[in-house]
Structure 1
Amino acid sequence: MKWKLDRAVDLHKESPYTFYLPSDYVLNQLKAGDLVKLIFMAEEPLDNGYEGERMWVEILERNGSEFRGKLMNKPHYLESLHYGDLIHFNLVHICDTQLDDPYAMDMDYYLEQKVTVSNDVLSRNEFNLMLRFEPYDDSDLGWVFFSGHEEDGFNADANNFQFISVGKMLNMDDSILAFINDTVPCAYERERETAKFVRIENYDWSIHE
């Protein structure tokens, strides 16, 4: 089974708040003997549905952004790869390291802090109304996101909502970071003309009682 390395840089660009990418601070420190994780992708679909494997590689040599390393895992699915194989790769392929990354705390926040979102938001990949209530616990930011197109009676069914990481919402629109920690309660809606969120000063909270 032929394989290729996935570009972690591109995956991070697609989902910057949920796909961790080592910071330049860490990448600049990498040297021979360090371990890095790469994503090995099958060039053709695998029978078991897997697209590839993430595995550790020990750096043997570095020349600027180019590396030569040794595979330190035994592949489960990619039969053409073997433990100890020599791997040539670039900085753009590295999705993790074993070095401490002080910038990883931001990613922890995006993944661990949760919000409630309507299924209609997820199906449309769009949200136009967001309300902040008192959080349930330390992991809950208290925000509830709506597309603004939900039908009557939609909100009455808890099965129409999911509890997900705030990072997934930021991947859709990270402009909300400007007020993500605003006071409770608060409400924002997207202006049709500018596509920006504005605070609703006289929102009727009684409809949620």
Structure 2
Amino acid sequence: MKEEEFIDLIPPMGFCCATDKITVDGMNVGYMYREEPEDKMDSGWRFFSGTENQEYVDDPNNTMFYHVNTIANYDKAIIPYLNLPFGTSLERVKDTDKFEIIVE
């Protein structure tokens, strides 16, 4: 997406981490989790397509920090889940815009 295409879909909530599979390749979010923030600007959210292997994730060139609103513009299906608490992990239900909480 081009910067001028982004719209405000959610109130500001800080930054998140997302892989290039979402922001460059245009894949939907398939897996997301929220961890304790690293600082007060961090929302704690981490977004993945679900196709990344460990080698891909370990390469810092494949992930970047974004405003959460940016990722919401790429995949609006994440929006209903963004206020879930730290420690929450979710996986997309195949072929839907719904996510299920992963219970470990």
Which band: TM-score by shorter chain?
0.7 to 0.9
Unaligned 5+ segments in structure 1 are 1-10, 19-105, 203-209
Determine the structure 1 residue equivalent to 2:19: 118
Alignment of 1:1-209 (within 5 A): 14-17=5-8, 106=11, 109=12, 113-125=14-26, 126-202=28-104
CA deviation vs aligned residue, 1:74-103 (integer Å, no higher than 9, x gap): xxxxxxxxxxxxxxxxxxxxxxxxxxxxxx
- Runs of 4+ more than 3 Å apart: none
**What TM-score do the two structures reach when normalised by structure 2?**
0.81
User: CA 1:194/1:120 → structure 2, altered by over 3 Å: closer, same or farther?
Assistant: closer
User: Alpha-carbon deviation of 1:151?
Assistant: 3.1
Superposition RMSD in Å: 2.0
Kindly indicate whether the alpha-carbon contact (under 8 Å) linking 1:115 and 1:141 is maintained by their aligned counterparts in 2: yes
CA deviation vs aligned residue, 1:31-88 (integer Å, no higher than 9, x gap): xxxxxxxxxxxxxxxxxxxxxxxxxxxxxxxxxxxxxxxxxxxxxxxxxxxxxxxxxx
Q: Percent identity?
A: 29
Kindly indicate whether the alpha-carbon contact (under 8 Å) linking 1:17 and 1:170 is maintained by their aligned counterparts in 2: no
Unaligned 5+ segments in structure 2 are none
Corresponding pairs, count: 99
Structure-2 separation of matches of 1:196 and 1:158: 29
